[in-house]
Copies of this chain bind each other. A is one copy, B any other.
Amino acid sequence: MVSPAEDVDAAMPPALRAGLAARAAEVEAALDTLLPQGPAAEARLFEAMRYACLGGGKRLRAFLVLETAALFAVSPTCAARVAAAVEMLHAYSLVHDDLPAMDDDDLRRGQPSTHRAFDEATAILAGDALQTRGFEVLAEPDTHSDPQARCELVACLAAATGARGMAGGQMFDMVAEGQSLTAAEVTRLQALKTGRLIQFSAEAGAILGRAPLAQRHSLAWFGRDLGAAFQIADDLLDALGTVEETGKTVGKDAAAGKATLVTLLGPERARAQAELLARQAAGHLDGFGERAALLRQLAAYVVNRRS
């Protein structure tokens, strides 16, 4: 698997790079603890869950959970559990999206996708069980002393990832293939498919911190705009990047005839839109002072990332 450090590109500010690496290490340790090996007969399922979830990616979502939780002095152990749960849900969605019946992708983070490394049935089950484990972790007492906070985490993560969120976005994406979407439709599709989970990740710190509603909303809006900027940057990478830089198959959108803001507006206007969203995202952090410095750097960086 690609180590978090290799995933970080040279254009990144050093403080942000250090912060991302530290947060990635935190969530990696939590995932390693929370996804143990299983008994002999089912060992293959546990292996596939760990394969899909450990050692990979920028851990953007975990970073958002951990950084927003730190704004409210939440216990790092509790925050790491929530970050791990979010990464489990994210990993489950990637495992299922990569399946032959879905995007049919052989490569993920420069490595064989889970159904290629194991088999299709194991990948389906591993995705299923990662989702289950994510919700289980959130509901367990170690995640927060107040069960009300745990219930909010479960309900909000479910809303972000279910039929009215991520799964609905994936359905929309499949239905839209071969159709010509408007920019507004593409924006809605991406808000569902990737935006809602990124938004939840930023909001999670406020839920953990039992923050006043105004602060919780500010962080949710930060996550929403950041997620939208992030997705446009992702589409720019797919259109203009290389396999070596990104560690994944590129040119997929064009090959599939898939509309993105890049194909609809052109790379220049799409990049301008991403930059606008990133500034808007940073604006929602105005009330949080210096403690939100890394989150602001992330918003500025995300548009210019190369992987």
A interface, CB within 8 angstroms of B = 38-39, 41-42, 44-46, 49, 92, 96, 99, 101-102, 119-122, 124-125, 127-129, 131-133, 135-136, 138-141, 146-148, 150-152, 154-155, 158-159, 161-164, 167-172, 174-176, 185, 188-189, 192
Contact = CB atoms under 8 A, between A and B. Distances in A.
Q: Give the interface SS of chain A, mostly helix, strand, loop or mixed.
A: helix
A127 B125 CA distance: 11
B132 A45 contact: no
B154 A147 contact: no
A163 B46 contact: yes
A219 B254 CA distance: 57
B171 A44 contact: yes
B128 A42 contact: no
A71 to B, nearest CB: 24
B139 A172 contact: no
Contact of A44 (B45, B119, B154, B175): B175
A125 B99 CA distance: 11
A176 to B, nearest CB: 7
Contact of A163 (B99, B133, B172): B133
Contacts of A120: 101
